[in-house]
Amino acid sequence: MTAAREFPHDFLWGCATSAYQIEGSPLADGAGPSIWHRFTRTPGLVRDGDSGDVACDHYRRYADDVKLMQRLGLNAYRFSIAWGRVMPEGKGRVNAGGLDFYERLVDALLEAGIQPMATLYHWDLPAALDDRGGWLNPDIAGWFADYATAVYRRLDGRVKLWATLNEPWVVTDGGYLHGALAPGHKNRFEAPLASHHLMRAHGAAVQAYRAVGKHQVGLVVNIEPKYPASDSAADAAATRRADAYMNRQYLDPALLGHYPPEMQEIFGEAWPDWPAEDFALIRQPIDFIGLNYYTRSVTRHDDASWPLYASGVRQPQATYSETGWEVFPQGLTDTLNWIRERYGNPPLYITENGSAFYDPPVAPGDELPDPLRVDYLDRHLRAVQQARADGCDIRGYFAWSLLDNFEWSLGYSKRFGIVHVDFATQRRTLKSSARRYAAVIASRGGVLSD
């Protein structure tokens, strides 16, 4: 392997999870319910009636899970903090029991030589704040900053990498426009408001960190590169709208101080005239961007697909995961280079990258073979190598996910973990992808050239 493709000694090799997807015990030790606790109790919204009430039981088994990370050679772990554990009503009173859990987790990670990266918001808004309008209420920026400050004061120093939001696009598109995710709204006028208040909250949380924190804070976005299905003007316009809506809607205000002009075209009268001072709040200097990459979209004009009038075209002879996502590693290299070119080469972490494939039944004591996930992992890590060789400032990679877990409205029907979880017994079994990832880490990527 050439020097340009070697991963440096200080490169972070991690896995990522989120609180509601793995922790279980959602109301333990004084925690308040989240919108997902409520959403999963509404019949017909989650596959098979599943919930995160138990999930991977990580709240009680975190020490063993940290030992598992150590066994794989991870030197970093990205997790999220449940807002309702820290502030059961979403604002005001701080719940010591909730913060104590995250302190124990962080201390266990550090003792194992694993650097924590903490995400402050991964979709589990306190239900009490949803009752006050949730992300539609402009006061939420201040509420989020107060919550963030309480966490910073307790954990900063031991946690040196902080992310404000995870995937604001999913929060808004799934939760406020199409209703597939909590809180389950379907409203064209609500979606822009939710997006804008998410970004204002991000800016307020960064400001709060500069006041009390001493390390690094950033934003995590999911990017799905859009490629036109043909050379037609209609497909080109559809691709431009889709890219603005999913990819530029959040990075442009955070890094450039404005929304893409296509947003007015997409939402029409539902797109407000935002105050200039809001962009001063949103565009706070940040230390890194977290990129979540899973797939691409080959995009065509589609009159039936509101509000973008764009839809994806399935590619012949391509491999697709169980979530219907095309395996396309080149899209990761393209995305990393696009961020470098558009936004001035900010420091980057691949904060999520993974795949859901069918896993066969597990026999006691056996490693579970998952060749498609091994191939996915290898090819995407090579794509990261290529982007680094192209000059992208990539400082770490976090596989999604450490454990099979609760996959939101899909329940437990899709498995993304490199470690299999038997949800009846909570037994963890390494998959071949976990072994392969451990080998990649141990060789600093050397085995990828084999």
User: Dihedral through CA 261, CA 262, CA 264, CA 267, nearest 10?
Assistant: -160
Angle at 112 between CA 107 and CA 115, to 5 degrees: 70
Choosing from 190, 224, 352, 407, the catalytic residue is 352
Active site residue 167: yes
- The rounded distance, in Å, linking the Cα atoms of 202 and 200 is 5
Choosing from 23, 167, 224, 262, the catalytic residue is 167
Active site residue 352: yes
- The two tokens of residue 193 are 């408001």
Q: Which residues are catalytic?
A: 167, 352
